[in-house]
A and B are shown apart, each in its own frame.
Chain A
Amino acid sequence: MEDHFYSLTGEKFDSISIILDASESADKAWNEIVTLTKEILRKLPRDIQKKLFFLGNPKEYDTEIFEENVSEWMRENRTRGSFITPIFESLRDSKTGKIVVLGSGIIYDLEDWTGSELYEDLLLIKVGESMLEKDIAGNEIDSTNFSAGSVINSVISVQICGNKEFMPYFWDNPGYILSNEGDLSLRSSNPQKNLSVNFAAFGSKIFANVEKKGSRDKIILSPSDQAQTDPVQIIEQCTGAWHCLTVQEETHFKQNKDAERVYCPHCQGLLESLHCLGTVCRQTKLLGKIIYSSLEKNLESNEIKGFIVFRETSDGRIQFKKYPSKIIKINDRQISIQEGSRSHIYEYVPNEERWAEKGKLRIFHSLGRGYYVAVV
């Protein structure tokens, strides 16, 4: 089954393409088009990806040097004619944000794109004559009713989905939570500033639904060429710092790491996780006790619950770190989902087109190469 690493970065859902009409039909409107463009560029947040085009020309111009070059660019594009196809063809595979055209007079080939996703994201700002042919519906407003700050719709939520096999097993933004509503997805929990996320997942056809005020974008995500999907590599490269167990804790870990049954070092009760709920431990702490106090000492209180990964160093020390996600990849076919203080193993069953439970995670479950995962 295929699995890949993906990156969803801020500019993917916050981008704008501005298309200027420098054609003969916009001669009289040109000064106002330039003024409006300057205003839009000034009001756009800095981290938004901006693309600038001229009607009839697929070449992308640099918005950073707009003011000093716009007159020359206008002369360069004046006789091209009011056509949008060359730009739409160049945006078709990469475009994700809003497309704004500032112009005057008919865009001859606009009708060829009605019904396309690009057309749905198109806002025409009329500076003089309409850009739409008679009887053609489109989102066109008069420049007098236009506010430059309104061209960017702020993102309300992001939902990452895929095919039936989709199963994320690592994500580095804790603002994303697993959602079981409908098909399994990763969903941004609350309106938040940072919506960027790196994640690894089983499945294919992975995409992000980006909901904005008044619109919705679907972003097809491509696997990253460089990042690994090996769980040990992910643990090493993409998660926080390692901490050491005490000597007594190390002894207990080494004696029990491959055991079927593991007992609490404090009360000798049978463990179901690293959080002992045995009678004796509950006498000292009402809600039970984490068997290794190093975990509480080294991790923030909100980090302790979930998966903890252990490794043995070359000098025999045992180290641990927090795994940031509620799902971890166990091997090439299986994952484990943390459910409260327990964790079960799941495997995809193609005939049933679902992930089916395949037993419990061991207290210390081997990930291979001396790495173990446990749940608190």
Chain B
Amino acid sequence: MSPSYETTIRVLPDKKTHFPLIDIPDIGTLTLWPVTKIQFEMFMIQTKAYGDTWYDEVLQCNPRISYHRVTKMNYERLFITGVYPDEVLSFSKWFGDGYRIPTVNEWRKAYTSLSSLNGELEMPEDLSEPAETIWKKIHGFPETSLSLTKFSLMQWGTVEWVMKNEEEFAGIGHPRHEFKCNCSNPLTDLVEKIKKNTTYPRKGYRHCGFRLIKGNCHDE
């Protein structure tokens, strides 16, 4: 019998954006979903790091949608994609002490761990209004409420940046066919490899979002 999530994981809001984090023993604390545009916009507003020109280019990869209008057909548009790993690293420093892009192994361990759990997550208190709305919407889609890998959007979310080593990043994940076709198995394959501080045309990474981890071990 699979272990119950109640004894193993807990969900709590992050202190910066009040979106949900998921704490998985032996792995660490991860953003429950890929980082949303709303969260990235808070970073842009507070740091003045990127302006309209930059954001217009990013939004061409995956247009923004209001959390009020999210449906099971378009929810991937909530998440910020098309950003380079060094831009993600700037965000992670702002997001909180110790947060970073997960390693390949960390991501896969989290995926495997969530695959083995039963039950539903309980929505934490103190989520922001957008986060609460998004939680309810995703929970309401029959497809994503079925399993924790789907509710956390490790499955049927975006491709996500992971760290191969200090200098190299790659994409991992298993998005829906409608968002990205020809997807590989996240437990065995990596896609969209890229080196730190290199920039190729952004549109080539239009499916690449990210989640952050505050890991218990950095074990690659």
Contact = CB atoms under 8 A, between A and B. Distances in A.
A239 interface: no
A173 to B, nearest CB: 39
Interface string A80-93: 11110110000000
B84 interface: no
Given A23-B51, A23-B52, A83 B67 contact: no
Nearest to B69: A111
A141 to B, nearest CB: 22
A45 B68 CA distance: 38
A23 B55 CA distance: 12
A178 to B, nearest CB: 40
Interface string A90-122: 000000000000000100110110110000000
A79 B48 CA distance: 5
A324 interface: no
A185 interface: no
Nearest to A109: B41
B66 A111 contact: yes
Interface in A102-148: 105, 108-109, 111-112, 114-115
A24 interface: yes
Nearest to A82: B52
B45 A81 contact: yes
B45 A105 contact: no
B41 A83 contact: yes
B53 A24 contact: yes
A147 to B, nearest CB: 28
Contacts of B67: 112
A24 B52 contact: yes
A217 B55 CA distance: 35
B8 to A, nearest CB: 34
A108 B52 CA distance: 9
B51 A85 contact: no
A168 interface: no
Interface in A183-219: none
Main secondary structure of the interface of A (DSSP, over half): loop
B44 interface: yes
B68 A112 contact: yes
A108 B51 CA distance: 12
B68 A115 contact: yes
Measured as residues with beta carbon below 8 angstroms from the partner, the interface class of chain A is: 20 to 34
Contact of B48 (A25, A80, A86, A114): A80
Contact of A105 (B52, B64, B66): B52
B41 A114 contact: no
A108 B64 contact: yes
Contacts of B64: 108
B52 A114 contact: no
Contact of B50 (A57, A81, A114): A81
Interface string B39-57: 0010011001111110110
A105 B51 CA distance: 12
B28 interface: no
B68 A111 contact: yes
B62 to A, nearest CB: 13
Contacts of B130: 112
Interface in A36-78: 56-57, 78
A56 B66 contact: no
Nearest to A26: B52
Contact of A24 (B51, B59, B65): B51
Contacts of B45: 56-57, 80-81, 83, 85-86
A87 to B, nearest CB: 10
Contacts of A111: 65-66, 68-69
B29 to A, nearest CB: 26
Given A81-B45, A83-B45, A86-B45, A112 B55 contact: no
Contacts of A79: 48-51
Interface of B: 38, 41, 44-45, 48-53, 55-56, 59, 64-69, 130
Interface of A: 23-25, 56-57, 78-83, 85-86, 105, 108-109, 111-112, 114-115
Given A80-B51, A81-B44, A81-B50, 20 more contacts: A23-B51, A24-B53, A79-B50, A80-B44, A80-B45, A81-B51, A81-B52, A81-B55, A82-B52, A83-B44, A83-B45, A105-B52, A108-B41, A108-B59, A108-B64, A109-B41, A111-B69, A112-B130, A114-B66, A115-B68
22 contacts: A25-B52, A25-B53, A57-B45, A78-B51, A80-B48, A81-B41, A81-B51, A81-B55, A82-B52, A83-B41, A85-B41, A86-B45, A105-B52, A108-B41, A108-B55, A108-B64, A109-B38, A109-B66, A111-B69, A112-B68, A114-B66, A115-B68
Closest 6 CB pairs of A and B: A111-B66, A24-B52, A25-B52, A79-B51, A79-B48, A24-B51
